[in-house]
Structure 1
Amino acid sequence: MTVPERRGLSRRDYLRAAVAVGGASAISACLDERGEVDVPSGTDDPDSLPVRQHAWNEFLETDDDGNVRPPEHHALVALSLAVNPANRSDSESSADRSDGESWAEATETVEESLRTLERAYEWSNDGLLFTIGYTPSYFSRFDEERPASVDLPEPEPLTDREDPAFDEFDGLIHLASDHPEVVLRAEEALFGDLETVNDEPVDTDLTGVFDRLEERRRTGFVGAGLPAEHTDVDGVPDSVPEEAPFFMGFRSGFQESQATEDRVTIQDGPFARGATQQLSSLDIQLDVWFEQENHAQRVMKTFSPGHDEDAVGVVGEALETSNGLTDERIASTEDDAQNPGVVGHAQKAARAREDGEPIILRRDFNTVDGDSPGLHFLSLQRGMSDFRAVRDAMTGADLDVGIIQNNGILGYIFVDRRGNYLLPPRSRRSLPTANPD
């Protein structure tokens, strides 16, 4: 792929397209459009960084209501392991082996590559935030069993309407920044295509340890006005609200409707202070959503039938730190399925709360990968059973809703791929074994 010509594209749409393409030409396109942007440098002291890879919130900006504002540009880089986990003897060097470098050397390579990014960029949305996660397929390479404290099953279909492909490669790096060229340069530095990154020398990279799976690379964006700039993409209607941050038209990520980072953190075992990550890539039937449903119906199906559209606003701007779901509204879900025969997406999912508190932390973002509108639904949770509980509640199979189009947003979204990952704590993020203890 090559970066499209600038003509007819808004500035932000052009930059989004550059991130989607990736590579040196995309970096050049960003620089031609924006010029060189001053990005804050990182740190030489790894102890000054959070022990949890997923500790982003305190380093992100907030909106006027105090909700965390996610980074604007995202890339998901799929990884296939290129070294042999059998090479785990610290006493053997790569020169003595016929099948590649030792596991200890490979581990050091990964850690130094990630440390290069942390020295280059501040841990913030103005710099770079990232995680590296590992699939069940990666851990199956080891003889030992994962500890019981890690709830990480293989991905699977979760309803009879799903037939997704699965992420069965080894790992995934999630790169996020407000600056598109930062995401692009970080990826290129990790794979040996840059000599320096934000003036930091790139002496070590992941090549030889991981292969980058270009066909599984995914990208996306989030921010007020960005979805409406994609009406040139098939399936994105002109009726997408101008200020909407997400394709389906409403704000998300309300502080009181999100689990805390503490709630999604693994508490015990060798991967304590890590988390699990779920990634579902969804196609969205936007033309039907906007052209066959009016604003009042979209409010009902997104939130609940008890939500007043004026109290929500055009894109949810009237809501502050909560999606407006009271305990009474959540408790009325089953009754609402009967009368008026409509239930809300958020209303259903909220039934999975524990002691009134959410149990998953969403960090999803829009995409036009494949030249069609979609969402990379990325969630963090302590264990995958938490995600399954929320997904089951959102599916609403226990509710007697007459037609699927009235069952929240279920009739408008379709799961294309799904993957489950472990995000180890920072101290064990580089080629962890299945059970480090």
Structure 2
Amino acid sequence: MNGSDRGLSRRAFVRSAVAIGGASALSACLQREDVEDVPQASLAPDELPSRQHAWNDFLSTDDHGNVEPPEHHLLLALEYVGDGPAAADGERERLEAAFRTLERAYERGNGGLAFAVGYGPAYFDRFEDDLPDGVDLPDPEALAPIEDPQLDEYDALVHLASDYGHVTLSAEEALKGEIEELNGLEVEASFDGIFDVAERRTGFIGPGLPAERQSGVSGIPDSEPVPEDAPLFMGFKSGFRQTQASEDRVTIRDGPFAGGTTIHLSKIDLHLHQWYEQDSREQRVAKMFSPAHAEEDLVEGVGDNLGDSSRVAEVGGSAAEDARSEGTVGHAQKAARAREDGEPIILRRDFDSTDDDRASVHFLSLQRSIADFVKTRRAMTGTDLTEGSVGSRTNNGILQYISVRNRANYLVPPRSRRALPEPNPA
């Protein structure tokens, strides 16, 4: 982390450090970022919402009311150290103490820390009891004929997010039991001896961040075409308020996991040479939004002018008709078909990545049931639209520019059951 880092901007340096991880990366981040600007929590853990996924009220918003996600993201895929059912010898109490340490050390939100923990089917398979009726947590599977992903079988997932790279790294080191103090507070407990970190994935989202990371990355042309103000590698804004499900909509309503949700996590590689070097801007707009967006020149720059909506429901027209008559159908146009009562059914918290020096997306979505994600993903794939002029992938949204490498499903319990939950607690 020295010598070659001298020419990096502070933000690019911090992202590189988060990707590397470990004590040396944390030390480097602490020297580059304003540590004193990160507040301790103003609310005690017991005063926080019962929902782990209740982030939106604590996150920043733009002028249109769109939630602005934290810049830095860290995913820790965990494997339980024991052989049988989890939660032996006080493990549940130690793990809960570790999570409460994070909640006391940092204010919840962009300027502090937002986090959540989920558990996969492999974790619940350790128990004799089944998950209760109404909790939909199937094993992950390929969701389209064109994909052959690795299906993750990790026991648990921790998602850490902050505008400060050193916060995500410090939280990681505290959870692993590698540091004794976290933002001025004693680290009470860790998951050391309970979980091992099997894999770590990192990423970022926000205006200008992808452009700073595009140089020398597989999947992006050497001409470095990503717009300087784009929040994502594909050059357009996403996460419009009206295209996102509410946190209420994605919350499990009944049973012992009421107040929880589910996570679907995909790792998706990007292939953007044609996107930027052969497709015109008009074609990119049509494929990302809809042909009408391109024809009417509705998208300025990265799309900030659209406000709190992609406007697909307003002007997008029929995906099936555009597939037949225009030979092109937009990604957002297809996804909008999965709405129920006019409302989206998944809440996206995805972000870009350069893990393995490859341009990619960690597509993380929240939904009441995994079936909601499957329904949305199949609408995005648009297999029913591939007859005729659209073909199997060409001009079918953004399918030809992405390939799914991994899929995983997790149950995110309410905070009261987030530490080694039983599958059907009383």
1:304-383 matches, cutoff 5 A? 304-308=290-294, 310-326=297-313, 329-330=316-317, 332-383=318-369
Unaligned runs of 5+ in 1: 89-100
Q: Distance in 2 between matches of 1:138 and 1:262?
A: 26
1:407 and 2:391 are equivalent in the alignment = no
Q: Please tell me the residue identity of whatever aligns with 2:10.
A: R
Cα 1:350–1:203 change in 2 (3 A) is: same
User: For residue 427 of structure 1, what is the aligned residue in structure 2?
Assistant: 416
TM-score (norm 2): 0.95
Q: Contact conserved, 1:345 with 1:394, CA < 8 A, in 2?
A: yes
For residue 3 of structure 1, report the CA deviation from its aligned partner.
7.3
SS of alignment partner, residue 394 of structure 2? helix
Q: Distance in 1 between matches of 2:335 and 2:85?
A: 43
Give every structure 1 segment of 4 or more consecutive aligned residues whose post-TM-superposition deviation is greater than 4 Å. Answer: 84-88
Q: Distance in 2 between matches of 1:45 and 1:15?
A: 29
Q: Distance in 2 between matches of 1:242 and 1:367?
A: 16
Q: Contact conserved, 1:3 with 1:26, CA < 8 A, in 2?
A: no
Post-superposition Cα deviations, 1:97-122, rounded to whole Å, max 9, x if no partner, equal xxxx52xx000011000000011011
SS of alignment partner, residue 388 of structure 1? helix
Q: Distance in 2 between matches of 1:172 and 1:66?
A: 29
TM-score (norm 1): 0.93
User: For residue 97 of structure 1, what is the aligned residue in structure 2?
Assistant: none
Q: Please tell me the residue identity of whatever aligns with 1:258.
A: Q
SS of alignment partner, residue 311 of structure 1? coil
For residue 35 of structure 1, report the CA deviation from its aligned partner.
4.7
User: For residue 181 of structure 2, what is the aligned residue in structure 1?
Assistant: 196
User: For residue 98 of structure 1, what is the aligned residue in structure 2?
Assistant: none
For residue 365 of structure 1, report the CA deviation from its aligned partner.
0.2
Q: Distance in 2 between matches of 1:393 and 1:119?
A: 41
Post-superposition Cα deviations, 1:368-426, rounded to whole Å, max 9, x if no partner, equal 00101000000000000000000011110101223512000011100011110000000
Q: Contact conserved, 1:276 with 1:381, CA < 8 A, in 2?
A: yes
SS of alignment partner, residue 41 of structure 1? coil
Which of 233, 236, 242 in structure 1 is aligned with 2:220?
Answer: 236
For residue 12 of structure 1, report the CA deviation from its aligned partner.
1.2
State percent identity of aligned pairs.
56
For residue 250 of structure 1, report the CA deviation from its aligned partner.
0.3
Q: Please tell me the residue identity of whatever aligns with 1:110.
A: L
Q: Give the length in aligned residue pairs.
A: 419
Unaligned runs of 5+ in 2: none
SS of alignment partner, residue 24 of structure 2? helix
Structure 1 stretch 41-50 or stretch 129-138: which is displaced more?
Answer: 41-50
Q: Distance in 1 between matches of 2:33 and 2:421?
A: 39
User: For residue 284 of structure 2, what is the aligned residue in structure 1?
Assistant: 298
Q: Distance in 2 between matches of 1:297 and 1:290?
A: 10
Post-superposition Cα deviations, 1:271-298, rounded to whole Å, max 9, x if no partner, equal 0010000000000001221111111100
Q: Distance in 1 between matches of 2:49 and 2:422?
A: 22
1:224 and 2:207 are equivalent in the alignment = yes
Q: Distance in 1 between matches of 2:73 and 2:349?
A: 10
User: For residue 13 of structure 1, what is the aligned residue in structure 2?
Assistant: 12
Q: Please tell me the residue identity of whatever aligns with 1:317.
A: D
User: For residue 21 of structure 2, what is the aligned residue in structure 1?
Assistant: 22
For residue 86 of structure 1, report the CA deviation from its aligned partner.
4.4
Cα 1:183–1:86 change in 2 (3 A) is: closer
